[in-house]
Amino acid sequence: MKIFDHIIREIKEYVEKKKNFSPHKTGTAQKTIQWPKSAKGEIVLMPDLAIELGHPDDASVSFLNWTHDDSLIHDGQITIVGPDINETNKNKLPFGKVVLLNVSGFDEKNAFDRNRALFLAKFDVSLKGFMIKSASQYMAEWCRISKEAVQHNFSLELLGNALINEYKKFDYVQSVELVFITSSNEDVNELFHMGNRTVRIISAMSKMMNEMSYDCTECEYQDVCNDADELKELRRSLVNK
Tens digit of pLDDT for each residue in 34-90?
Answer: 899 997 778 999 999 999 999 999 999 999 999 999 999 999 999 999 999 999 999
- State whether the Cα torsion 91-57-124-176 is positive or negative: negative
Q: How far apart are CA 133 and CA 160, in angstroms?
A: 18
Mean pLDDT of 14-23: 96
pTM score of the predicted model: 0.90
Tens digit of pLDDT for each residue in 147-187?
Answer: 999 999 999 999 999 999 999 999 999 999 999 999 999 99
For the chain, the domains span: 5-210
Mean pLDDT of 191-202: 90
Is 5-210 in CATH node 3.30.1650.10? Answer: yes
Residue 15 is predicted with a pLDDT of 98
Q: How far apart are CA 149 and CA 129, in angstroms?
A: 5
C-beta of residue 116 within 8 angstroms of C-beta of residue 29: no
